[in-house]
Amino acid sequence: MPRIDVTQGDITRVDADAVVNAANTRMRGGGGVDGAIHRAGGRAILEDCIRRFPDGLAAGGAGYTTAGDLPAQYVIHTVGPNFSAGQRDRSLLESCYRNSLAVADDLGLRRVAFPLISAGVYGWPIDDAIAAAVDTVAGAMTSVETVTFVAFNDELADRLRTHQMLATPLRILAGLREAHRRGRGDLRFVPYIYATGAWRIEIGTRRAVHDQGSSPRVGDAGGILRYSSAQGTEFGSGRVTGATPVGAVADLIIASTAEENGVRSPAYGAWLDALIDACTDKRALPYAFDDEDGADGQVWRLTGGHGTVPVPPSPEFDRA
């Protein structure tokens, strides 16, 4: 799984082994990123396209040419689905990223720069285009070490970074809910924010996690599963991305935490459902306290100024 970076700028000037071109099916140049790469790279790119792709390239496919006058060694061309023309199969969009990385692997490349594919004139909804890009790359089995997403403006760069930062934590919360639904009603958690800005969650049994009142905390009992957003996609004994099946995340949580038999709390389960629905809807993370302001005691807050949620129900509602 590669490291993911985000930058704002001109993809034709990025220092990478290969830049990915959002091409069209004819493979003869075009507008947007396609036109910019052909203009900056010179005629050698077009001549190589004609030689290598005499019949063009299908949506979702990928192939490479020389990079001409670009600082990169190669251009990897991929054709995104045209949402505006009715090509709305998301798997085609995901294939653009997977197949481009496969080409990079065949070439022995380590650093690849991508634009956001299909999000321009092809009209793919921006938020879903971002999710497809980041989640597919984050979960890819590839020898590429670094993938850089190159955004054409600061707003898009911020949205890419936000999705990257939220993808794993939101999937962990969804996995925690699934673990509850599988019978691990004993699981509790405390989320908080470091002074560094990193989000942290500690998951354990009801006995180990004291998530009530003004001083929520985790005890010293064993079987506590800890995660910080500074870890990226590393979680427990595996990795979690926005594309990881929720059931697989639940498996990691169940395998990494001790079990307190007999604890069932419909009230806590309902609260957890409402919390995770709110986080998913608002694309925000909960926190009981942070290193700067401490804890409120009456509510948990959501990142990004997205409001508050009630604290977990009192343990007196638990039934062993």
Q: Is 34 designated active site? A: yes
Candidates 5, 10, 15, 34; catalytic one: 34
Q: How far apart are the first and last CA of the chain?
A: 42
What are the C-alpha distances in Å from 260 to residues 184, 188, 205, 207, 216?
9, 11, 6, 8, 19
DSSP code for 85: G
Q: Which amino acid is at 87?
A: Q
Rounded CA-CA distance 181/175 in Å is 10
Rounded CA-CA distance 25/79 in Å is 6
Rounded CA-CA distance 210/215 in Å is 8
Place of tokens 């993808």: 167
Neighbouring C-beta atoms of residue 305, cutoff 10 Å? 8
With the C-alpha atoms ordered 169, 175, 179, 181, is the resulting torsion angle positive or negative?
Answer: positive
Spatial CA neighbour of 22 closest among 86, 101, 75: 75
Rounded CA-CA distance 315/210 in Å is 9
Per residue, the 3-state secondary structure of 126-165, as one string, reads: HHHHHHHHHHHHHCCCCCCCEEEEEECCHHHHHHHHHHHH
What pairs with residue 113 in β-bridges?
19, 148
The answer to whether the beta carbons of residues 115 and 105 sit under 8 Å apart is no
Rounded CA-CA distance 44/40 in Å is 11
What residues are annotated to the active site?
Answer: 34
